[in-house]
Amino acid sequence: MIKYVRRRYLALRVECEGPFDRKTVSDALWNAVLQLFGEVGCSQAGLYLVHFDEEKNYFVLRCSHRALPMVKAAVASIARIGNQSAVVHVLRVSGSLKALSKRVTLPT
């Protein structure tokens, strides 16, 4: 029987000293999880960058619900994106994209 995978969606906001793109943010996230929890942790996290809004510095990340504390810790530990100082704030966590879009108010 196939095991149903529960997921969590995190709405995140990036603040960075300079410009950044989807790839650099994605790399920073993967590196943070890899550095803190290793390859096994990374494989359990099931990270996927669902949505990326470059204008509003806002993105949505998907992960396994079991790995949520790991992912939140890794996100909070990000201090650099590329070669620039940066910070990633968790705005909201939800079980579905629909609920997340209802709950989160995007920064103007």
Partner 1 sequence: MKFSDLHLRVPLNDMDQTRRMIARSSELGYSQIGVPLSFGVKQDTIDQLRQTSEEFGVDFVTRLDLAPKSVNELLGSLRRFRRKFEVVSVLCGSKPLARQAAKDRRVDLLSFSAVESRRCFFDWAEAELASKSSAALEIGMTQVLSLEGFLRVSLLSRLRREVTTAQRFGVPVVISSGATKVLLLRKPQDYACLTFLFDMDVSSALEALSKNPFGIVERNRVKQGSSYVAPGVRIVKEKARDSR
Task: Name the residues that contact partner 1, by CB under 8 A.
Answer: 15, 17, 35-36, 69-70, 72-73, 75-77, 79, 85-87, 89-90
Q: Whose Cβ is closer to partner 1: residue 79's or residue 98's?
A: 79
51, 63, 59: which is closest to 14 by C-alpha?
59
Q: Please give the structure tokens belonging to residue 76.
A: 């909070």
* Of 12 and 60, CB closest to partner 1: 12
Angle formed by the axes of helices 22-45 and 68-76, nearest 10°:
150
**Min dist. Cβ of residue 13 to partner 1 (A):** 11
- In the complex, what is the shortest distance from the CB of residue 73 to partner 1, in angstroms, rounded to a whole number? 5
Pick between residue 95 and residue 98 the one whose CB is nearest to partner 1.
95
**b/e per residue, 81-96, with b = 16+ CB within 10 A?**
bbeeebebeebbbbee
Gap between the terminal Cα atoms of the chain: 46
Residue 61 Cβ, how far from partner 1 at the closest point, in Å? 14
